[in-house]
Amino acid sequence: MQKNLILLLLMVMMAACSGSSNEQAAPSGEKYLPFVDPMIGTGGTGHTFPGATTPFGMVQLSPSNEYKSWDYCSGYHYNDTIVKGFAHTHISGPGLSGLGDILVMPAREAHTSSGEDGKADSGYRARFSHDNESASAGYYKLLLHEEEVLVELTAGTRMGYHRYTFNGEGEDYLLFDPNHQINENIQDTYLELISDTELVGYKDCDGWSAGDRTQYFYAKFSQPVAGFNLVRKGEPVEGNKGSGKGLLGQVRFDLAPGESVEVHLALSSISIEGAKANFEAEAVDGFDLAHENARREWAKVLSKIEIEGATDRQMKLFYTGLYHAFISPNLISDADGRYYVEGKVRQSDIPQYSNFSTWDTYRGLHPLFTIIETEKTAGFVNSLSSRVAVDDVGLPSWECLGYDNRCMIGYSAVSPVADAVLKDIPGVDVEAAYEAIRYAAFDRTKHSQVSDLNGMDEYLKYGYVTAETGVSVSKTTEQNYCDWAIARVAEKLGKTKDQTLFDRRAIGYRNF
């Protein structure tokens, strides 16, 4: 415990000494990359994923098992021995399940379905061993021994990069399953081969965490397609395009033993055209270059904190923790500035971010970002503020891909917004930020999906939430704290009347 406290103090002091400006030249972080172990947290109830991503990126390309229980929130659990495929979106850390968009799986035959959970021979899913698996910052590798296929994954901001090396004998297939999901309901899917090297499609779904949404993609292959077939629920579909639940694409390549095929795939929440535009804006020439770029991005953020005198184990724990800290929030806007929030397409001049589990992160993560990641902090705060000023949906309580699932109590997003204003983070729209947090303090619509009504009517009348509403002590104290934070911002901005109001509300717990 003492050593951990010392490391934490070193972290804060070194970050403070180095300054919070993102314009400073960051020292090379290459030396810290070996200390990142993405497998940490993939067991127990850690809810992390081992796959490839970039800091705050739109894509989290990672292996998926079958979703079985709360332990599988990230789509992957270390105790599982069967992999279903490799999907492009995953949630890291919180106890919220969802996403798992656009799954790709290599195979040696034209399977017509994923098969049954626990039965690797019943479909395209496959057995695997952790002995054949490795992960590092921005990279994941798995040898599917029985299929004799080496899987490699890396990522860009809006891009997923796959490389599949087919060894031995047998046919060479990549199966595209847009029906894959992590605790969501599929409403529709679409696949279309538009040339012998290009595949497009989407997944339309509804889920508890990310709401009613559509995930589009554009994929380009490094090798020409030798054969393409579609099946829907096991039945053939004529032509090169199809739609409906249960649709599966069978993409066949004609490869020599030991030859690889790469898949470069871009996402968009707006349209297939948006995914293609994202591809054209970001795609790089080959897997190895994409991997090197991902490593460089991770080295840059890991170098924001340098520690000395730690053991290898302490270095591993610290830098893996720092790596996990930079996975989310996540970019949701396309290269052209369009983004999707609460059922509507919007246009923004600033990058838009989502996946704000602020009830989990306002105490430690966001205060850390105000020290070592000021530019993105401004982006996060301006994204949150725009939900009130632009999107007219209110400050979210737990937003996933632009949808406020309201699974927690209080209005905890107030805290990181207020913190950024009070610390004079450059680039924050201060007036919009204050408008957003003040709005949240009177919002009667943000009721928790798991903890009943927010009790705002009682809170405004009595200064506390009554026991009849449920979870009353927690709701009262959470809201008291946020009101105190609003009072401090009002004080800073010279809004004396509001300061008095929110200081009085902040002590509502005394009325119990």
Tens of pLDDT, residue by residue over 36-81, are 999 999 999 999 999 999 999 999 999 999 999 999 999 999 999 9
Q: If we measure between CA atoms, which residue out of 76, 99, 72 comes closest to residue 88? A: 99
12 pLDDT more than 80:
no
**Residue-wise over 4-25: b if at least 16 C-beta within 10 A, else e?**
eeebeebbeeebeebebebeee
Q: How far is residue 146's CA from residue 127's CA, in Å, rounded to a whole number?
A: 8
Under DSSP, is residue 274 helix (H, G, I), strand (E, B) or coil? Answer: helix
Sheet containing strand 247-253, strands side by side:
52-53, 60-64, 85-87, 103-107, 172-177, 247-253, 227-232, 235-237
Mean pLDDT of the chain: 93
Quick one: pLDDT at residue 190?
A: 98
Task: Find tokens 């704000």 and name the residue.
Answer: 356
Residue 450's pLDDT band (cuts 50, 70, 90): confident
Check whether 270 has a pLDDT greater than 80: yes
| Top-tier CATH class for 33-279 | mainly beta
The 10s digit of each residue's pLDDT in 110-129 is: 999 999 988 989 999 999 99
Per-residue pLDDT, 512: 76
What's the pLDDT at 118? 87
Give the C-alpha distances (Å, rounded to integers) separating 65 from 114, 117, 264: 11, 9, 22
Look at residue 285 and tell me whether its pLDDT is greater than 90: yes
pLDDT digits (tens, 9 = 90+) for 312-346: 999 999 999 999 999 999 999 999 999 999 999 99
DSSP 356: B
Q: Give yes or no on whether 33-279 and 329-511 have one common fold.
A: no
Would you state the pLDDT for residue 29? 87
Average pLDDT, integer, range 232-249: 96
Give CATH for domain 329-511. 1.20.1050.60
pLDDT, tens only, 455-501: 999 999 999 999 999 899 999 999 999 999 999 999 999 999 999 99
- What's the pLDDT band for 14 if we cut at 50, 70, 90? very low
Q: Where are the domains of the chain?
A: 33-279, 329-511
Burial zone of 100 (CB within 10 Å; 0-12 exposed, 13-18 middle, 19+ buried): buried
pLDDT at 448: 86
